[in-house]
Each structure stands twice: as structure tokens, then as C-alpha cells.
DNA sequence: AGAAAGACTTAGAAGGACGCGC
DNA sequence: GCGCGTCCTTCTAAGTCTTTCT
């Protein structure tokens, strides 16, 4: 009697509170018991702690373990490695590592000294004593036959008839069905990366000191399995054993192994479409929205701190100013020589900034030039507040170019401070917050209700682009850019031609109608009018395309869309302006943002 | 308290799938 | 139906932040 209405009420209330659909009570769950006693159903009572008490991420987890990279297939007899001009038969292990290099021969990596040195060093370690004695100089190694062999193999695979390709796909699908899913708390969930990483040569980004090192093959004995005690424990491949099977439900990974280049741990985890990940994502945006409520206060605070007595406080204030205004990353310390030399806010060095009291009509300009994450260059000239400028000048006093700009600062201390200002606040929340709020503001400013869908999408992309610019999300300009732009321009010109032709014909038709005034010429005028309209529309579309393309040349929109922009802003915008969500989010993105698509109405405000 | 390990998010490149215009 | 460009998916490196160890 009481059951259904209670559920209905909770569904409505919780929906208003922006709970995603899959968190809402379902009729069969008999939530009325909890509802009566706790006001909020138990499974949502502590949703901020992932639904379960104290760090527990799941109650039941079952999976098949990772899918291992296929074993090495030796080269055919007639494919040779040459040393010093003579064919040389290699031992199996040595040959395998040689193929890693051979496959990459047309890649820029293999021209780099560091890559070559690291490769040769690690390769030597694999060689037999005899091989070691012979192969002493990489320059005398000839991998071209190996390269050719794999290149042709690849071409042959591409040229396979449709049916055979389909067959291969079917086999791959079967593997995905078997290994690509797990059962988590009664739901079948997709796994993100269910395959172990195959062996090969390490490809670091930027100027990486370890590029070319041998990435070893992952074996079952390297792998830790994580699952429920009462689940069907995955079987290791025949004749092998897992490193360990553990049942830790305070973590979300299904399997892990330690990688040999940096000694860090790699994990097999769920796909972003999963409930577990979706919930976490949603939580992230809720934290950013809480920042929205206190950001004014925090800004006031760090501005006041520009004049603080303690230098550490001043440094923290300036760092926060950068993190907030420029969306810089926190900038953890990195071990020297282990990775490429990149920095974030706290790890900025003197050499990364230049100060200009006046520059091109602006006052107090700071020029930033440094390599950030993935060795992407951050270059920006920004006018800053006078106090910031004066502080920076002081921080630079008596320092060498290689010294830390913020010598009294660490990400830990910045984050500790932020935590005191708001529960759950860390440096990266500013990136999320500023990205999302920018999207919302830009959409408001740029969207024109009377525009057609194509123009609205352009507005969306522009708003998205503003965010990508803020976050410095870059991409290499597509190699085909110039050419495809020319093609597009040619199309536009042709369309213009067509349009003017159509206009002339319409005029003619009109003249004829005036003259004859019969049904046939009336119809002709109508037809020509329609043609003109169609061409106009097409021309406009092409022009939009060109603008979009040009503005997008070096900017990557995907990263912000996927990681920084609260999807509810997008969903609400789509609903408000009648843009189908499929025009903005592809299938993967819709899966990832299912929670947002489900629960957001057009009035959502970030 | 500081360092190291662990867990999880964010990132661009590469390669494959797919769709569009001829 | 074919070739070409674009979009999407996959891959895994490289960050951030938390937890554990010393």
C-alpha cells in the first residue's frame, strides 16, 4: 500500500537532486523499508562514498583475467637479419627483439640516438654469448628484410577479401565477449583494457631518456588477480600460475602487473561506461560545482595572500592564481632522468617565465614557455595583476635559470591548503571547474536560437574550443590539412558558381512567367526557387565546415569533452536548442555519459 | 615528515572503421 | 563500387592525488 508511492516520490525527489537514473530505486527493490526508517534509501545514504561503507567499491566481482598477447611467431626461413652485410640466424629471443626494431624502421624514433642506444643496450642483454660477441655495432645491423616482411604482411591483411575480414572480426568479437566483460555486483560491465600490453620498444613522449628500452612480455606469473572470494577465480593459461590472487574490494581494478620501464603498476580496469566509473565521474563534477559556490571567497583569499608576510604563503597565492586563471596543472615533482623534463605550476623554473613591465601596450605581462604533460608546449603571454608581477620579481631574485620559481612550494602543501578551504578541493578541480563554467558561459554567449542545427553545432564547437584553448589541449596539425582545405575551398567556389547560375535561371523563369502567365512556368519558377534555396543551404554548410576546420587546426577538442566538461551542460543545451545529442556525442561518449543524458533536463545549471 | 608505492584520471598518437563524393 | 579523408576506437604513457612505509 505504501510501497509504490514511496518509491515514486523518491524517484522524483532524487531525480530533482540530479541523481542518475541507475541510482534511483526500482520497484522491485523494496526500498520502502529503508525509506521509512532513514528518509533516504540506504544505498544512496552515503553516495559520496561510492554507495558502500568506508571505501568499499564492490561486493561481488568476477572476471576471466587478462587476455595475454599472442606468443612470438618466428620469422620464415627466407627472411633474414643481416650483420655487416652477411645474413645471420638469431636465437628466438634475440630475433623477437630484433623484429620490434625492424617493425619501427620507418618511424622517426629509430633515428634518435637515445632510442638507438637504449634499444641496443637492452637487446644485447637478450642475446646469447655468441651473438653478443658478433653483434657489437647497431650501424652494422640491417633490419630491412624484417621490416619489409611485416609491412607486406600488414598489406596482405588489409587486402583480404571481405568475408575473411569478417571472420577475423568475429573471432575478435568472441574474445571480447569472453574476456572483455566482468560481473560487478550483479551487473555485466565492460572492461576498459582487458588485454595485457604486448612486448615491444618503449615509446616515451618528448625527449624521454628511456625511449627504445625493451618492454618485456607480461606473463601470468607477473599478474595479480583481484576478484571476490566467492566468485569463479579466473584460470591462468595452461601450465602457468598467477603471481597472486587477492580479494580487495576497496579498489576497482581487476588485475595488475608491474611494468619494467618505470617500475610502475599497470591495471586492468572497467570501461568508462560502467556504473562504477560513471558514478566517480559524476562525483568529480559535483565537487567542481561545490567549488563554484566558494570560488569567490577563495579568490579573495589568495589575493589577500599576495601581501602575506611569509614568502611561502605568497608563493602559494601566486601559484593558485596561475592554477585558477590559466588552468595550469599542479606540477608534481618528478625524478630527474627517469622521464622527459616537463613541468606544471609548482615545478615551474625560472627559465620558464619572462617578465615584461610593458609589452605591446599592456602592463605587467608574463611570458610562459615550458613543456607540460606529454611534452606539449605551453606558450602564453598574459597580463597579470600588479601584485602578482611584483611577487614574481621577488621570487626570481638571486636565482639561476634552472632554479624552482616556487622554491618553498609543493603540490602537497598547496593541496593541503585547498583541502582546508573546501572539502575535496585539490588543484585539478580548478581545471574542471573553469573548463565547465567556460563552456556554459560560452554556450550562452554564442548560441543563437534562430540558427539552424548546423550553425548551432558550430557554436557548440566554438565554445568547446574556448575550453580546449584554456586547457592547452593541442594536436599535431593533420598531415592532410592543407590539401583537404584546398579541396573544401574548391567545393565552395563550385557551389557559389552553381548558386549564381541558379539565380540567373530563376530570373529567366520569372521573366517567362510574366510573359506567359501559365501553370507550367509558374511551376518552373517554384522549382528554380527551391533549387536556389537548396544551393544556398549547401553553400552555407560548406562555409561553416571551412570555418570550423580552420579554427580547429591545432586544437584537440576531445580531451576536454571527455574529461573536463560536465556532460549535463551539453545535454541541457541540446534539449534547450533542439540539437540531437548524437550530433555532439558519438556512441562511446553517449555510453560514458549515460548518467548525465538520463538525468538532465534543459534547465540544468552547472 | 618525507619518500615511495599505489590507485586512478587525463593525454595524444596510431591505426582501423566508416561514410561520402565521384 | 572505389578511393580518400574523417571520425572513432584503442592503446598506453603521463599526469594527479592518496595511502603506506620508513
pLDDT digits (tens, 9 = 90+) for A464-495: 999 999 999 988 777 666 666 666 676 677 77
Query: pLDDT tens across A185-205, in order?
Result: 999 999 999 999 999 999 999
Radius of gyration in angstroms for the set of CA atoms belonging to chain A, rounded to a whole number: 30
Report residue A50 as a C-alpha cell. 561510492
- Our measurement of CA A190 to C1' C9, in angstroms, reads 14
Neighbours of A128 (CB within 10 A): 12
* Nucleotide of closest approach to A541 (CA, C1'): B20
Q: What is the pLDDT of residue A16?
A: 39
* Nucleotide of closest approach to A192 (CA, C1'): C10
Q: What is the pLDDT of residue A401?
A: 95
- Phi, psi torsion values for A257, nearest 5 degrees: -150, 160
**Residue closest to sugar C1' of B4 by CA:** A264
* Nucleotide of closest approach to A376 (CA, C1'): B12
Which bases on strand C have an atom closer than 7 Å to a protein beta carbon? 5-19
Strand B atom within 7 Å of A248 CB: yes
* Nucleotide of closest approach to A435 (CA, C1'): B10
**Residue closest to sugar C1' of B17 by CA:** A169
Which bases on strand B have an atom closer than 7 Å to a protein beta carbon? 5-14, 16-17, 22
Q: What is the pLDDT of residue A504?
A: 84
- Our measurement of CA A454 to C1' C18, in angstroms, reads 45
Strand B atom within 7 Å of A290 CB: no
Spatial distance between the Cα atoms of A22 and A47, rounded to a whole number of angstroms: 12
Q: Does residue A10 surpass a pLDDT of 90? A: no
Q: Does residue A25 surpass a pLDDT of 50? A: no
* Nucleotide of closest approach to A488 (CA, C1'): C5
**For residue A27, what is the DSSP state?**
G
Q: Does residue A121 surpass a pLDDT of 90? A: yes
pLDDT band of residue A524 (cuts 50, 70, 90) is confident
β-bridge partners, A369: A379
**A119 within 8 A of A101, measured Cβ to Cβ:** yes
What mean pLDDT comes out for the span A24-39?
A: 31
DSSP notation for A461-478: HHHHHHHHHHHT-B-PPP
Q: Does residue A11 surpass a pLDDT of 90? A: no
Spatial distance between the Cα atoms of A216 and A567, rounded to a whole number of angstroms: 39
Spatial distance between the Cα atoms of A11 and A24, rounded to a whole number of angstroms: 6
Spatial distance between the Cα atoms of A466 and A455, rounded to a whole number of angstroms: 17
Catalytic, A10? Answer no
Q: Does residue A496 surpass a pLDDT of 90? A: no
Q: What is the pLDDT of residue A488?
A: 66
- Our measurement of CA A321 to C1' C6, in angstroms, reads 39
**Residue closest to sugar C1' of C13 by CA:** A204
**A64 within 8 A of A175, measured Cβ to Cβ:** no
Least confident of A49-58, A143-152, A155-164, A251-260: A49-58
The share of chain A scoring above pLDDT 90, in percent, equals 71
Place of cell 630484433: A98
CA torsion angle for A557, A559, A561, A562 (degrees, to 10)?
150
Spatial distance between the Cα atoms of A506 and A276, rounded to a whole number of angstroms: 61
Q: Does residue A170 surpass a pLDDT of 80? A: yes
Strand B atom within 7 Å of A510 CB: no
Strand B atom within 7 Å of A258 CB: yes
Chain A 188-207, CB < 7 Å to strand B: 205
- Our measurement of CA A74 to C1' B9, in angstroms, reads 38
* Nucleotide of closest approach to A284 (CA, C1'): B9
**Residue closest to sugar C1' of C15 by CA:** A373
Chain A 138-157, CB < 7 Å to strand B: 154
Report residue A283 as a C-alpha cell. 562525483
Most confident of A214-228, A527-541, A547-561: A214-228
Neighbours of A568 (CB within 10 A): 25
- Our measurement of CA A86 to C1' B17, in angstroms, reads 42
Strand B atom within 7 Å of A473 CB: yes
What mean pLDDT comes out for the span A140-161?
A: 90
- Our measurement of CA A541 to C1' B19, in angstroms, reads 18
For residue A543, give every residue at least 6 positions away whose Cβ sits within 8 Å of its Cβ, in sequence order, or none: A492
- Our measurement of CA A266 to C1' C11, in angstroms, reads 13
Mean pLDDT of chain A: 87
Query: pLDDT tens across A424-460, in order?
Result: 999 999 999 999 999 999 999 999 999 888 889 989 9
- Phi, psi torsion values for A590, nearest 5 degrees: -65, -35
Three-state SS annotation for A120-141: HHHHHHHCCHHHHHHCCCHHHE
* Nucleotide of closest approach to A267 (CA, C1'): B7
* Nucleotide of closest approach to A427 (CA, C1'): C16
What mean pLDDT comes out for the span A491-512?
A: 79
Q: What is the pLDDT of residue A299?
A: 97
Query: pLDDT tens across A289-316, in order?
Result: 999 999 999 999 999 999 999 999 999 9
Strand B atom within 7 Å of A105 CB: no
The share of chain A scoring above pLDDT 70, in percent, equals 88
Catalytic residue among A302, A364, A564, A585: A564
Q: What is the pLDDT of residue A517?
A: 80
Query: pLDDT tens across A355-389, in order?
Result: 999 999 999 999 999 999 999 999 999 999 999 99
Strands (E), A265-374: 265-268, 353-359, 362-371
Query: pLDDT tens across A84-104, in order?
Result: 999 999 999 999 999 999 999
Strand B atom within 7 Å of A559 CB: yes
- Our measurement of CA A164 to C1' C7, in angstroms, reads 24
**A202 within 8 A of A262, measured Cβ to Cβ:** no
- Our measurement of CA A97 to C1' C2, in angstroms, reads 39
- Our measurement of CA A484 to C1' C5, in angstroms, reads 8
Report residue A235 as a C-alpha cell. 584460470
Place of cell 574548391: A490
**Residue closest to sugar C1' of C9 by CA:** A588
Amino acid at each position: 500500500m505504501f510501497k509504490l508511492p514511496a518509491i515514486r516520490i523518491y524517484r522524483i525527489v532524487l531525480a530533482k537532486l540530479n541523481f542518475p537514473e541507475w541510482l534511483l530505486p526500482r520497484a522491485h527493490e523494496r526500498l520502502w523499508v529503508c525509506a521509512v526508517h532513514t528518509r533516504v534509501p540506504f544505498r544512496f545514504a552515503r553516495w559520496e562514498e561510492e554507495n558502500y561503507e568506508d571505501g568499499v567499491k564492490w561486493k561481488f566481482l568476477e572476471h576471466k583475467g587478462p587476455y595475454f598477447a599472442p606468443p612470438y611467431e618466428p620469422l620464415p626461413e627466407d627472411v633474414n637479419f643481416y650483420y655487416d652485410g652477411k645474413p645471420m640466424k638469431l636465437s628466438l629471443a634475440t630475433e623477437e627483439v630484433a623484429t620490434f626494431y625492424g617493425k619501427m624502421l620507418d618511424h622517426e624514433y629509430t633515428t634518435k640516438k637515445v632510442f638507438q642506444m637504449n634499444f641496443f643496450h637492452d637487446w644485447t642483454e637478450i642475446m646469447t654469448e655468441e651473438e653478443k660477441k658478433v653483434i657489437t655495432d647497431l650501424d652494422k645491423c640491417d633490419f630491412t628484410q624484417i621490416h619489409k616482411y611485416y609491412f607486406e604482411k600488414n598489406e596482405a591483411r588489409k587486402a583480404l577479401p571481405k568475408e575473411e575480414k569478417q571472420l577475423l572480426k568475429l573471432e575478435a568479437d568472441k574474445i571480447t565477449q569472453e574476456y572483455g566483460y566482468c560481473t560487478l555486483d550483479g551487473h555485466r560491465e565492460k572492461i576498459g583494457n582487458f588485454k595485457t600490453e604486448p612486448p615491444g620498444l618503449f615509446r616515451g613522449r618528448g625527449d624521454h631518456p628511456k625511449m627504445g628500452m625493451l618492454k618485456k612480455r607480461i606473463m601470468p606469473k607477473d599478474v595479480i588477480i583481484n576478484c571476490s572470494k566467492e566468485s569463479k577465480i579466473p584460470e591462468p593459461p595452461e601450465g602457468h600460475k598467477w603471481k597472486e590472487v587477492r580479494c580487495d574490494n576497496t579498489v576497482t581494478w581487476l588485475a595488475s602487473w608491474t611494468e619494467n620501464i618505470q617500475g610502475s603498476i599497470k591495471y586492468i580496469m572497467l570501461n568508462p561506461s560502467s556504473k562504477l566509473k560513471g558514478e566517480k565521474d559524476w562525483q568529480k563534477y559535483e565537487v567542481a560545482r561545490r567549488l563554484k559556490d566558494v570560488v569567490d571567497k577563495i579568490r579573495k583569499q589568495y589575493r589577500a595572500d599576495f601581501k602575506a608576510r611569509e614568502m611561502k604563503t605568497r608563493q602559494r597565492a601566486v601559484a593558485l592564481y596561475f592554477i585558477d586563471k590559466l588552468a595550469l596543472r599542479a606540477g608534481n615533482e618528478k625524478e630527474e632522468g627517469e622521464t622527459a623534463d616537463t613541468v606544471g605550476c609548482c615545478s615551474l623554473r625560472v627559465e620558464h617565465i619572462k617578465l615584461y613591465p610593458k609589452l605591446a601596450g599592456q602592463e605587467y605581462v608574463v611570458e610562459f614557455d615550458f613543456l607540460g604533460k606529454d611534452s606539449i608546449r605551453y606558450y602564453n603571454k598574459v597580463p597579470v595583476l600588479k601584485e602578482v608581477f611584483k611577487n614574481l620579481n621577488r621570487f626570481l631574485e638571486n636565482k639561476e635559470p634552472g632554479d624552482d620559481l616556487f622554491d618553498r612550494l609543493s603540490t602537497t602543501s598547496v593541496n593541503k591548503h585547498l583541502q582546508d578551504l573546501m572539502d575535496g578541493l585539490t588543484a585539478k578541480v580548478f581545471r574542471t571547474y573553469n573548463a565547465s563554467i567556460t563552456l556554459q558561459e560560452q554556450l550562452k554567449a554564442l548560441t543563437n536560437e534562430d540558427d539552424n542545427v548546423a550553425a548551432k553545432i558550430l557554436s557548440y564547437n566554438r565554445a568547446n574550443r574556448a575550453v580546449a584553448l584554456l586547457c592547452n589541449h593541442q594536436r599535431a596539425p593533420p598531415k592532410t590539412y592543407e590539401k583537404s582545405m584546398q579541396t573544401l575551398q574548391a567545393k565552395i567556389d563550385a557551389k557559389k558558381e552553381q548558386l549564381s547560375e541558379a539565380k540567373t535561371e530563376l530570373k529567366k523563369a520569372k521573366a517567362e512567367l510574366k510573359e506567359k502567365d501559365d501553370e507550367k512556368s509558374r511551376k518552373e519558377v517554384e522549382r528554380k526557387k527551391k533549387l536556389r534555396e537548396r544551393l544556398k543551404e549547401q553553400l552555407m554548410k560548406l562555409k561553416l565546415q571551412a570555418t570550423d576546420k580552420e579554427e580547429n587546426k591545432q586544437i584537440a577538442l576531445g580531451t576536454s569533452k571527455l574529461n573536463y566538461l560536465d556532460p549535463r551542460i551539453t545535454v541541457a543545451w541540446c534539449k534547450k536548442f533542439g540539437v540531437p545529442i548524437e550530433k555532439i556525442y558519438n556512441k562511446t561518449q553517449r555510453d560514458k555519459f549515460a548518467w548525465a543524458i538520463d538525468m538532465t533536463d534543459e534547465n540544468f545549471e552547472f
